[in-house]
């Protein structure tokens, strides 16, 4: 029996590079060392960050770094954000179980998975077809049947499914696309990094309250540029 367990462990290591229980430990440390210590306290966000298998969303060769305190390349000149940034943006949206959320910039699909752990429905738009399709397959394999991945330019949002309780933009536009503000529900929140593509940008919180749009500038951030379909 012991021999069988050992063989199974070796096979698991061979397939995944590490034991999945090691990844659970790494995730536990990520939550403890990178998130709670920096002010992430929203229980559903912490639970989602503890649950989603981030290593599955990064390239195989970088899996051992999946839980490091850093963004990582995911191909096509794009990146998966640092765990803290994903948690910070999620917490700022204060998502509820009954929410319908729109994400612009699917990338690896990781932020979508974190949101899908918390809310009822996630729609996520990706402009690079290869990334969108890869994320779609991965999210399906992981059983996230409440996520819809759409390939296209997120500039116009997703009118047929609007309005949204929350919108998260994970690429930086120079100005906030007007359609996204329109598609936010009254009482809803949007988080978006705004600024020039090659410099530091500002993370902006948009809240709609009784038809009024309130803009709060938060911290300095660095995101990949928001691109447009030709």
Q: Which residues are catalytic?
A: 81
- In the complex, minimum distance from the CB of residue 78 to ligand SAH, in angstroms, rounded to a whole number: 4
Select 58 or 206, whichever has its Cβ closest to ligand SAH: 58
Q: How far is the CB of 187 from ligand SAH (least distance, A)?
A: 24
Q: What is the smallest separation between the CB atom of 9 and ligand SAH, expressed in angstroms? A: 30
Determine the residue with CB nearest ligand SAH.
107
Residues within the interface to ligand SAH (CB under 6 A): 78-81, 104-105, 107-108, 110-111, 125-128, 131, 153-155, 170-171, 224, 226-228
Who's near 134: CB < 8 A, 6+ residues apart? 108, 109
Q: Give the count of alpha carbons within 13 A of 43, CB side only.
A: 2
Provide the CA 212 distance to its chain's centre, in angstroms.
Answer: 27
Pick 12 or 148: Cβ nearer ligand SAH: 148
Q: Cα separation of 123 and 106, whole Å?
A: 9
CB of 74 closer than 8 Å to CB of 131:
yes
d(CA 184, CA 161): 11
Minimal distance, residue 173 CB to ligand SAH, in Å: 8
Nearer to ligand SAH, 34 or 111 (CB): 111
- Distances in Å between the Cα of 196 and the Cα atoms of 48, 78, 225 are 31, 16, 8
**Closer to ligand SAH at the Cβ: 159 or 186?**
159
Query: DSSP character for 225?
Result: B
């Amino acid at each position: 029996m012991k021999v069988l367990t050992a063989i199974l462990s070796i096979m698991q290591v061979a397939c995944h590079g590490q034991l999945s229980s090691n990844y659970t430990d790494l995730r536990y440390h990520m939550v403890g060392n990178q998130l709670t210590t920096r002010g992430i306290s929203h229980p559903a966000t912490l639970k989602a960050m503890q649950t989603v298998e981030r290593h599955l969303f990064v390239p195989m060769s970088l899996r051992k770094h999946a839980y490091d305190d850093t963004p990582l390349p995911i191909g096509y000149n794009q990146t998966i954000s640092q765990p803290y940034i994903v948690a910070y943006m999620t917490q700022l949206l204060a998502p509820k179980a009954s929410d319908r959320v729109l994400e612009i910039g699917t990338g690896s699909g990781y932020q979508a998975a974190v949101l899908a752990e918390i809310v009822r429905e996630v729609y996520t738009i990706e402009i690079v077809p290869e990334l969108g399709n890869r994320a779609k397959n991965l999210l399906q394999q992981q059983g996230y049947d409440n996520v819809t991945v759409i390939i296209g330019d997120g500039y116009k949002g997703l009118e047929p499914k609007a309005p949204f309780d929350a919108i998260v933009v994970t690429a930086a536009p120079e100005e906030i696309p007007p359609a996204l503000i329109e598609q936010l529900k009254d009482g809803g929140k949007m988080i978006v990094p705004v600024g020039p593509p090659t410099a530091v940008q500002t993370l902006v919180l948009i809240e709609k309250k009784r038809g009024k749009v309130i803009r709060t500038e938060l911290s300095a951030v660095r995101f990949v540029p928001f691109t447009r379909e030709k």
